[in-house]
Amino acid sequence: MLEVTGLNQFYGGSHILRDVTLQVPQGSLTVLLGRNGVGKTTLMRCLMGVVRSKSGTIAWRGQALDHLAPPARVARGIAYVPQGRDIFARLTVEENLLVGAATKRHVSSVPERIYTLFPVLKDMRKRRGGDLSGGQQQQLAIGRALMSEPSLLILDEPTEGIQPSIISEIGRTLRELVDQSGMTVLLVEQYYDFAKAIADHYWVMRRGEIVASGDGAQMDASGVREMIAV
């Protein structure tokens, strides 16, 4: 569904992404692992067009995305939950969710399926986003992304700063989206046990390069934990 080939990016004189090549199969949950500072977030921003890559290609269902701005990529069926969530603190939960449907016409209410996935959002729909806990804000950020009805959902470290109970809920929700709704998920993560528990496929990044990949069920046997610990 998504194919990245030979992607390079620089910040000043630093070579951040080094010929990154990876694939995200349709209808699967793919995890990208790596320590802080290896280029994972830069790669996600390139995928969404927030940052333009210096060279290489990003293909979506066989069509190049490189010339498209972020809203056009969302309209094509790609949604992004950024690291840090970036919810609108002064808007209500409901208003935050409706922002996620900006590329859709005539959407004036939140579909019940969003509230079914995240019941807490329905209970708090009239509260300001800034009044929610970190875990609730993360669920709001995911719900907002789902409002665009994506085929591919990209999440950048959704477990960061989140309590364990909410992490488990997020994991179950992501698996449900893949297994029951047929969505494709690309998850950037450092939390190894969380990634291992839900991944169909994995990629490991180190110093801006892809250094390993394989089936999620083989992560322990392939020594992935050790790869991201050094």
What is the four-CA torsion angle of 221, 223, 225, 228, rounded to 10 degrees?
-150
pLDDT, tens digit (0-9, with 9 covering 90-100), for 132-185? 999 999 999 999 999 999 999 999 999 988 888 899 999 999 999 999 999 999
In this prediction, residue 104 carries a pLDDT of 81
Question: Would you say how long the chain is, in residues?
Answer: 230
Cα distance between residue 141 and residue 83, in whole Å: 10
User: Which residues, including other chains, have CB under 8 Å from residue 72's CB and lie 6 or more apart?
Assistant: 49
Q: Is the pLDDT of residue 230 over 80?
A: no
Structure letter (DSSP) for residue 92: B
Q: pLDDT confidence of 102, banded at 50, 70, 90?
A: confident
Domains in the chain, ordered, with CATH? 2-86+149-162+170-227 (3.40.50.300)
In Å, what is the CA distance from 226 to each residue of 32, 34, 160?
15, 11, 20
Q: CA-CA distance, 129 to 180, in Å (whole number)?
A: 29
pLDDT score recorded for residue 85: 84
With CA atoms as reference, report the closest residue to 81 among 2, 163, 168, 140.
Answer: 140
Q: How far apart are CA 63 and CA 72, in angstroms?
A: 13
User: CA-CA distance, 7 to 19, in Å (whole number)?
Assistant: 5
Q: What is the pLDDT of residues 38-89, one digit of tens each?
A: 999 999 999 999 998 999 999 999 999 989 999 999 999 999 999 888 899 9
| CA–CA distance, 155 with 28 (Å, rounded to integer) | 14
Task: Give the amino acid at 216.
Answer: G
Cα–Cα distance list, 61 to 65, 69, 178 (Å): 10, 17, 18
